[in-house]
Amino acid sequence: MPPKKHKQSVHDRSPKRPKSELLKLYLVSYDAPGWDVYTDLVVAGGSEEEARDIHPFGDWASNDHGLAGDVWIKWEKRAKLEVTQIGTALPEQKRGVIHRTFKPG
């Protein structure tokens, strides 16, 4: 009896990047004062600078997103973020936030 054919998943059909173009995974940390703020992000980006420029909601235009007070560092202070490369993304990974950590009050 022949083996069953494997049905392709969405990931199998996604375009693959050459190894030299794979995104990197970064931990972006904010030593946030107070409560009700995001303290850490895991992001996929092409460089440390690109990782630093990613907002938890992907939108720097509005920093509060309906929550009381600021939930992430201001754009002009983003150089204070600590950025650490923690790995290499899979070929199908898109740029942006993978995980965010919130410090509730």
Domain ranges in the chain? 25-103
Whole-angstrom Cα distance, residue 72 to residue 36? 9
pLDDT of 44 reads: 97
pLDDT of 61 reads: 64
pLDDT of 8 reads: 44
pTM of this prediction? 0.75
